[in-house]
Amino acid sequence: MKHRKKAISLIVMGTSAVALVVGCSANTTQSTGQGNASSGTASVKVNSTGSSHVVNYKNASGTIVWAESFTTGNLANELVKAFEKKYPKIKVKLQVQPSDTDTNRATLTTAISGGSSTPDVYMGDVIWPAQFANSQLAAPLSDYLPKSFWNRFSNGLVSGATYNGKVYAAPLFADTAFLYYRKDLLAKYHLPVPKTWEQVKSEAAQIQKAGGARYGFVWQGADYEGLTCDFDEYLADAGGQVLKNGKADLTSPAANKALSFMRSLITSGVTPKTVDTFQESQSENVFTQGNAVFLRNWSYAWSDSQTPSTSKVVGKVGVTALPTFAGHGSSGYSTVGGWDLYVNPHTKDLPAALQFLDWMTGTQAQSILAENSEMPTNKTVADSKSLAKYSPVFALLPKVKFVSRPSQTPEYPSVSKAIYDNVNEALAGSISVSKALSLANQQIDNAQSSGGL
Chain residues in the site for ligand GLC (CB under 6 A): 101, 125-127, 175, 225-226, 229, 280, 298, 337-339
Residue 45 is given by DSSP the state E
What are residue 300's DSSP bridge partners?
A: none
Instruction: Indicate the residue among 174 and 313 with the shorter CB distance to ligand GLC.
Output: 174
Closer Cβ to ligand GLC, 340 or 425, answer by number: 340
Distance of alpha carbon 109 from alpha carbon 137, whole angstroms: 7
Identify the burial level of 184 via C-beta atoms within 10 angstroms of its C-beta, where 0-12 means exposed, 13-18 middle and 19 or more buried. Answer: middle
Closer residue to ligand GLC (CB): 169 or 213: 169
Closest approach of ligand GLC to the CB of residue 247, in Å: 23
Minimum CB–partner distance for residue 130 and ligand GLC (Å): 14
Nearer to ligand GLC, 229 or 370 (CB): 229
Cα–Cα dist 371/422, whole Å: 37
Instruction: Give the nearest distance from C-beta 224 to ligand GLC in angstroms.
Output: 7
Q: Answer for the pair 320, 181: CB distance below 8 angstroms, yes or no.
A: yes
Q: Dihedral of CA 98/104/108/109: which sign?
A: negative
| Strand residue runs (E) in 146-251 | 162-163, 166-167, 170-175, 177-182, 215-218, 243-244, 247-248
Q: Are 375 and 173 in contact (CB under 8 A)?
A: yes
Question: At 296, is the secondary structure helix, strand, or coil?
Answer: strand
- Least distance (Å) between residue 220 CB and ligand GLC: 7
Cα dihedral 227, 233, 235, 241, rounded to 10, equals: 100
Least distance in angstroms from the C-beta of 126 to ligand GLC: 5
CA distance 404 to 4: 7
Q: Tell me the closest approach of the beta carbon of residue 25 to ligand GLC, in angstroms.
A: 32
Q: Which is nearer to ligand GLC, 102 or 198 (CB)?
A: 102
Least separation in angstroms between residue 127's CB and ligand GLC is: 6
Our CB check for ligand GLC shows the closer of 126 and 396 to be 126
Q: Which residues pair with 178 in a beta bridge?
A: 297, 321
Question: Which one, 52 or 279, has the nearer CB to ligand GLC?
Answer: 279
Q: How far is the CB of 37 from ligand GLC (least distance, A)?
A: 37
Closest to ligand GLC by CB, 229 vs 317, is 229
Q: What is the Cα–Cα distance from 287 to 305, expressed in whole angstroms?
A: 8
Q: CA 288: distance to chain centroid?
A: 22
Cβ proximity to ligand GLC: between 230 and 349 the closer is 230
Using CA atoms, how far apart are residues 190 and 183, in angstroms rounded to an integer? 10
CA 398, 399, 401: angle at the middle one, nearest 5? Answer: 100
Q: Considering the complex, what minimum distance in angstroms separates the CB of residue 298 from ligand GLC?
A: 5
**Cα dist. 239→227, 253, 328, 335 in Å?**
18, 9, 8, 14
Nearest approach, Cβ of residue 129 and ligand GLC (Å): 12
Omega of the bond leading into 119 within 30 degrees of 0 (cis): yes
- Comparing CB distances to ligand GLC, the nearer of 33 and 160 is 160
